[in-house]
A and B are shown apart, each in its own frame.
Chain A
Amino acid sequence: MHSIGAYTFRLVMAGLIVGMSTGTAFAYLDPGTGSIILQVLLGGVAGLLLAGKLYWHRLLIMLGIRREEEVASTSNAPQDVQIDAATRK
């Protein structure tokens, strides 16, 4: 069972996740944008860390410390993946 607090936290996180890149469709079944975002939140601790990382980047953009392009390239950087992977050990 999930507490209301955890739920609200996850929901707020969800609202801050979505990136802006475009690409082609991959499957005959539409997974649903909202349902994909939710999967980050349903991914346990690793999911919350991923949500937190995405939130942090959005925050930097809002504060003008970082620009949109930098977020995309940073997210692509191998060290990001490694950091994320390390947190799951």
Chain B
Amino acid sequence: MQPPASEALSELAPAPGRERIPGPSAATAEPGSFRDRNGAVFYRDGEILRGISAKALANWERLAAAPFFQEFTARGSIVRTERLPADEARSFGEWAAVLRHEKVPFISYPYEWTFGMLKDAALLHLDLMQAALGAGLILKDSSAYNIQWRGAQPVFIDIPSFEVLGKGEPWVGYRQFCELFLYPLFLQAYKGVDYRPWLRGQIDGIPAGILRPLLSARDLIRPGVLLHVLAQDSLQRRYADKPQNVRSSIAKAGFDKQLIVRNVEGLRKIVAGLKPGGSKTVWADYDRTHSYDQAEFEAKCAFVREASRHRRWRMAWDLGCNTGTFSRLIAEQANHVVSMDGDWMVIEHLYQAQQSRPDRQKILPLVVNLSDPSPAQGWRGLERRSLPERGRPELTLCLALIHHIVISANIPMRDFIGWLAALGTSLVIEFVSRSDEMVQTLLANKDDQYGDYEQDQFEACLAEHYRIRADQTLKGGKRHIYFCTPKSEP
């Protein structure tokens, strides 16, 4: 089953296209939840609910009793889910039952994940397949969108995807697993090509026929290529126009669950061995230097920490987060932090580093280029949401970023501050002046058409939308940092 586009939207006003459905109080349907007719997601009073059919209910009852399901849920790898009492569920219409899911802090999409994240999501999917098969169940689809994140921990959210495996049935989601997990990982691991633009470009992933022409003779000996890519593409082409019902034929011939288990084991071995290509150093020794000396850097940290203590934040965004130093600082005062940077290597570094930290479940690292952030897309443009539509923060960090936005991306400073202000959040922002060597580097080979890029004009832009509560000069006057709150706030 295709997952809802967002399970974190319940605190927002209904987006266009979300229809009201019958219920005890205002409930809105999730427009991205339509592919599988056995269920549908909707929201009510901050809750995420899912109506399910009689068939899906039978599967849920089997799943809820399975020890593996309880174990994975207890360790946070499956979203916590409970069934609404029958009298409460009846008010939602014709569904056989209604499930209530735990809320995921922030919805993200595979085209915003690093290689390590997509790989760990794939491994979780395969682990769930193995466990489910052991209990006579299977995941009927393999959408990467079915996995979300609690900080840096992957969480499976599509409960009705678990169903009882019929005798002789193949793994229906195998092709989808290849297209949304395996081939994107191959693209990065074997060709050194960033898969994110591909996944953003096609909601159903990369078909075998698209990947195959990119592979060289040398790639044919790499694990998984011959069978999972070449053979699959050849067989798909060979049988594309033939009406045979292969599922019945294979079932009659004695296709057995053990064949799926072997396939899943093989895939797990292949995926576990994949490393991101095109990056010799990988992230083990990756540590981007910053242009501050230690004392100045500590002054900056102290300012950010002090600003974050203004109050407790439900959600904070760290835009241009680099390796996440400041994300961790504000995580002390925030329930959740979404850390974004356009450089996938720093996000990978942050993701891997978070795995062993106590704030692992608080910081979600995402690859986002702010000058070209993920758009709303899919059917009617509602299946996948744009960044701000997925839940806005209460605090936004914007450190050492503005020169990239204004000078590298040519976005007018006023526009950018206006966009930040539209988020309606408190803001910690750093102005990087023309005397800073980073700005001079950016301007070295460009026409200087940035007459507005001056501190006084920057402050005037801020003053239009914000009340500046604190500010401080940094780096010997080359930079200046501000803490502001929206004018609308008292």
Q: Do they bind each other?
A: yes
B257, chain A: closest CB distance, angstroms: 10
Residues of A within 8 A of B245 (CB): 19, 21-23
Q: Which of B1, B170, B253 has the most chain A CB atoms inside 10 A of its CB?
A: B253
The B246-287 residues at the A interface (CB cut-off 8 A) are 246-250, 252-256, 258-260, 262-263, 266
Interface string of A17-48 (1 = CB under 8 A from B): 11111110011110111111111111110110
| Contact (Cβ within 8 A) A39 B169 | no
Contact of B248 among A7, A21, A50 (CB under 8 A): A21
| Contact (Cβ within 8 A) A28 B37 | yes
| Contact (Cβ within 8 A) B175 A32 | yes
Contact of B231 among A7, A21, A31, A81 (CB under 8 A): A7
Residues of B within 8 A of A81 (CB): 254
Residues of B within 8 A of A20 (CB): 244, 249
**Given A22-B243, A53-B253 in contact, is the A37-B235 Cβ separation under 8 Å?**
yes
| Contact (Cβ within 8 A) B247 A28 | no
**Given A28-B37, A34-B237 in contact, is the A7-B227 Cβ separation under 8 Å?**
yes
Contact of B173 among A4, A31, A38, A85 (CB under 8 A): A31
Whether a CB of chain A sits under 8 angstroms from the CB of B419 is no
| Contact (Cβ within 8 A) B238 A31 | no
Give Cα A41 to B170, complex, Å. Answer: 12
Contact of A19 among B37, B169, B253, B258 (CB under 8 A): B253
B102, chain A: closest CB distance, angstroms: 25
| Contact (Cβ within 8 A) A29 B141 | yes
Interface string of B197-228 (1 = CB under 8 A from A): 00000000000000000000000011100111
Residues of A within 8 A of B228 (CB): 38, 42
Chosen A-B contacts, 10 in total, with CB atoms closer than 8 Å, are A33-B239, A33-B246, A34-B237, A35-B174, A35-B235, A39-B171, A43-B258, A43-B259, A44-B266, A75-B253
Residues of B within 8 A of A39 (CB): 170-171, 174, 255, 259-260, 263
**Given A7-B231, A31-B173, A84-B254 in contact, is the A42-B242 Cβ separation under 8 Å?**
no
B423, chain A: closest CB distance, angstroms: 37
Residues of B within 8 A of A47 (CB): 259, 262
Contact of A38 among B1, B140, B232 (CB under 8 A): B232
Contact of A36 among B37, B230, B246 (CB under 8 A): B246
A22, chain B: closest CB distance, angstroms: 5
Residues of A within 8 A of B38 (CB): 28
Give Cα A42 to B170, complex, Å. Answer: 11
Give Cα A29 to B38, complex, Å. Answer: 12
Whether a CB of chain B sits under 8 angstroms from the CB of A11 is yes
Give Cα A68 to B255, complex, Å. Answer: 19
The 3 A-B pairs with the shortest beta carbon distances in the complex, nearest first, are A43-B259, A19-B249, A34-B235
